[in-house]
């Protein structure tokens, strides 16, 4: 005599089929959403470097940091300064730290660039990160740096500028947009002078 069907087996089978259908529908919906998002974002840059590669200039982040060394357009030492305060000027922004060996080699290059271009309305602006204020000031004295610097004790600047380390340098145009990003040390003033001249020539 053949075995009779167990009603519980039918219920269990139906439940498994229902769960399978629901999971399949959810997966299909997620795929559709991802495709739609991908199509909507196609050609849209999601990072500073992506934007620069397409020829676009992303807005520089709205940084507000205490002044370590004052300079043109900036308040006194210890006061907060905003990057937006320098809008209308071309800014060479450099992330650095006193413990960074490439920064030691790079700092005279930035000082040279500053002295050669400050009369043209260029501001070379250091942003000291992951550092002690006393060490940063000692570094500035040792290398005879005269360009202004801010201090970031929270890594806000590093995160906002999508930097992976130090040194990293950005040229920001008069409209507050990033025109160039150099990851790693600047080896000579000429490396930045050409792009800087182009930005300065813009009306």
- The highest-confidence range among 1-15, 40-54, 171-185, by mean pLDDT, is 171-185
Give me the pLDDT at residue 203, please: 81
CA distances from 116 to 141, 145, 167, 172, 193 (A): 20, 14, 21, 17, 9
Check residue 151 and give its pLDDT.
97
Inter-residue contact 176 to 85 (CB < 8 Å): no
Q: What is the pLDDT of residue 97?
A: 98
Report the Cα–Cα distance between both ends of the chain, in Å, rounded: 96
pLDDT at 35: 35
Do the beta carbons of residue 85 and residue 74 sit within 8 Å?
yes
Give CA separation, 5 vs 2, 9, 10, 12, 14, in Å: 9, 8, 8, 12, 14
- In the beta sheet, which residues pair with residue 171? 92, 180
pTM over 0.75: yes
The mean predicted confidence, pLDDT, of the chain is 86
**pLDDT per position as a tens digit, 66-90:** 999 999 999 999 999 999 999 999 9
**pLDDT of 45:** 39
Task: Write down the pLDDT at residue 27.
Answer: 44
What's the rounded mean pLDDT across residues 39-47? 44
pLDDT average, residue stretch 146-156: 95
Kindly indicate the confidence band of residue 18, based on its pLDDT and cuts at 50, 70 and 90.
confident
Assign 37 a pLDDT band (cuts: 50, 70, 90). very low
């Amino acid at each position: 005599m053949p075995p009779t069907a167990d009603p519980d087996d039918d219920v269990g089978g139906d439940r498994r089929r229902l769960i399978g259908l629901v999971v399949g529908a959810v997966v299909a919906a997620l795929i559709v959403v991802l495709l739609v998002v991908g199509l909507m974002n196609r050609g849209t840059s999601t990072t500073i470097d992506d934007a620069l590669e397409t020829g676009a200039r992303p807005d520089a982040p709205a940084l507000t940091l205490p002044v370590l060394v004052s300079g043109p357009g900036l308040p006194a030492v210890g006061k907060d300064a905003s990057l937006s305060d320098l809008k209308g000027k071309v800014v060479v922004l450099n992330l650095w730290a006193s413990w960074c060996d490439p920064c030691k080699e790079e700092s005279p290059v930035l000082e040279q660039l500053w002295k050669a271009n400050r009369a043209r309305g260029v501001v070379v602006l250091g942003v000291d990160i992951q550092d002690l204020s006393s060490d940063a000031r000692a570094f500035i004295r040792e290398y005879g740096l005269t360009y202004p610097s801010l201090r970031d004790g929270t890594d806000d600047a590093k995160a906002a500028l999508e930097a992976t380390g130090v040194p990293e340098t950005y040229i920001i145009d008069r409209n507050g947009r990033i025109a160039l990003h150099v990851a790693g040390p600047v080896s000579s003033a000429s490396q930045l002078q050409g792009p800087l001249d182009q930005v300065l020539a813009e009306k």
